[in-house]
Amino acid sequence: MDKDTISNWFKNLQSDITSNLEKIDGSGIFSGDTWKRSEGGGGHSMVIENGDVFEKGGVNWSAVHGNTPQKILDALKLEAANFFATGVSIVIHPHSPHVPIIHMNVRYFEMSNGVWWFGGGIDLTPIYVNDDDAAHFHRKLKETCDRHNVDCYPQYKKWADDYFFIKHRNETRGIGGIFFDRLSSKHGTKKELFSFVQNVGNTFIPVYKEIVYKNKDLIFDDNQKKWQYLRRGRYVEFNLVLDKGTKFGLDTDGRTESILMSLPPQANWAYNYKPETGSPEWDTLQKLKKGMDWVNK
């Protein structure tokens, strides 16, 4: 299981996901940009804008290498070493406030000193939380986890709850999903863990397709669109203030346009906006909490 096998599999995952998203959209086409990183390696960014369903979305693949950033070495108390990192990152912002924003990341990291790990996850950010969709989403993620290790869903679900928590808003970014990082030989063989990460990657299209098809033709009004823009503002706050991948990318002179592909086409901020008690917007806020048991909803 060498790094090229993993990296190539991720590259194919990118192709597979973008062609499936094009089919789901029915009109939008991804366009690609290949880029090089001056310190070593590069990537291929694929972007869809103004599709029928997807307003803006990015599916980014990269495989980069070079000297391991000092911060990582310090955190692990390791001497200087080369690193190799590869992964796929996706954020999709649909037009309709009835279709959730989705994010997925799968990644592999290794160093010349023999240290390696996998990380990743999938999470959903509905503008309006629909209990059935949320339960469906979490059940599918649980199935994927259970095939790997029946204990891991609760752990990776909690990890997502904690990771996607916006402390300064006292709310979660969305309904969470699964998140995992630094899965290494303590957690399984490289083959087993790669197989799990592949299953996560392959879960993306079927789980999202069902939610998109179910909701994409529902009508919406200006007030629902306004709410969507405010929620996207929260998405921006999470990604720019809290997201470790974004911070790492910007700190290490990554390709800005690929890192910030995750930002929505439009986001709004209103001062101290509070939805009316009992409204659908208020109901959604009640559900943006850690520890929601969606699987057993």
Per-residue string for binding with a copy of itself, 151-170, x by CB under 8 A? ----------------xxx-
Q: Of 92, 183, 263, 288, which lies in the binding site for a copy of itself, with binding defined by CB under 8 A?
A: 263
Q: Is 240 in the site for a copy of itself (CB under 8 A)?
A: yes
Q: Is 245 in the site for a copy of itself (CB under 8 A)?
A: no
CB of 240 to a copy of itself, least distance (A): 4
CB of 162 to a copy of itself, least distance (A): 17
- Give residues 50-109 in contact with a copy of itself (rule: CB under 8 A): 56, 58
Name the active-site residue from 65, 93, 98, 103: 103
On whether the CB atoms of residues 265 and 95 are closer than 8 A, the answer is no
Is 136 assigned a catalytic role? no
Close Cβ partners of 285 (under 8 Å, ≥ 6 residues apart): 171, 275
Q: For residues 89 and 102, what is the distance between their CA atoms, to the nearest angstrom?
A: 11
Sign of torsion, CA 52 54 55 56?
Answer: negative
Burial class (CB in 10 A: 0-12, 13-18, 19+), 81: middle
| Contacts for 273-282: CB closer than 8 Å, 24+ residues apart | 273/230, 275/227, 280/128, 281/128, 281/227
Which window, 133-141, 157-165, 208-216, 268-276, contacts a copy of itself (CB under 8 A)?
268-276
Nearest to 171 by CA among 114, 251, 237, 116: 237
CB of 241 to a copy of itself, least distance (A): 5
Q: Is 29 in the site for a copy of itself (CB under 8 A)?
A: no
For a copy of itself, which is the closer residue by CB, 218 or 250?
250
Which window, 105-113, 135-143, 209-217, 234-242, contacts a copy of itself (CB under 8 A)?
234-242
Alpha helices in 111-221 (DSSP H): 131-148, 152-163, 190-215
Tokens 């592949």, residue located: 198
**H or E element in which residue 232 lies:** helix 222-237
Q: Which residues are catalytic?
A: 103
Interface residues with a copy of itself (CB under 8 A) are 33, 47, 49, 56, 58, 167-169, 229, 233, 236-237, 240-241, 250, 253, 256-257, 259-261, 263-272
